[in-house]
Structure 1
Amino acid sequence: MPASEVSAEVIAARLSAAGLTTRVEEHARHTAIEAEVPEQISAESWQEALEAVALADRFGLLATSLNARTLRAVVRKAVPATGDVGGPSHQR
């Protein structure tokens, strides 16, 4: 299993352990993990959620005027290595 998949699974598991319901979405270049943040959340759960998303390549909190909050983490997938990474001008 690629390291990016393991990272995404660890983040989702830690968010779930903090009491949040998670969604995982696979994309071509990244995996997104989202969790709805309840209106009432304990300081311990919030700390665990923040520590979990800190493992991601990017993370953020989306908030709407309807008081909905979604914590989002993104883990980049590895780019396949090729023999022509530098392009023709970098070949010897």
Structure 2
Amino acid sequence: MPASELSAEDIAARFSAVGLTPRVEKHAHLTSIEAEVPESLSAESWRELLEALAKADRFGLFANSLNGRTLWAAVHTAAPATGDVRGPGRQR
């Protein structure tokens, strides 16, 4: 199993371990993991989630008064090409 898939599964498992219900979607170049976050989440659970998010390539939190809070993470399925690592015009 590729390392990126293991990372995505680990993140989803850790979301579940703190009581969240993760949604995992595989896309062409990344796997996304999302979960709704209740207002009552403990500080210890937030620490666990932050440790899990450290394995993601990107992550964030959407929050609004209509839909509550959604925590998300993305794990790239393939390493970017050398020219893409630092962005356009930033190549060595």
- Normalising by structure 1, what TM-score? 0.81
Identity of aligned residues (%): 72
Corresponding residue of 2:59: 59
Runs of 5+ unmatched residues, structure 1: 87-92
Count of residues paired in the alignment: 82
Residues 60-69 or 8-17, more deviating: 60-69
Corresponding residue of 1:50: 50
Structure 2 residue identity aligned to 1:3: A
- Normalising by structure 2, what TM-score? 0.81
Residues 46-55 or 21-30, more deviating: 46-55
CA distance in 2, matches of 1:42, 1:65: 20
Runs of 5+ unmatched residues, structure 2: 84-92
Pair 1:69-2:69 in alignment: yes
Structure 1 residue identity aligned to 2:6: V
CA distance in 1, matches of 2:2, 2:67: 36
CA distance in 2, matches of 1:35, 1:52: 13
Higher Cα radius of gyration: 1
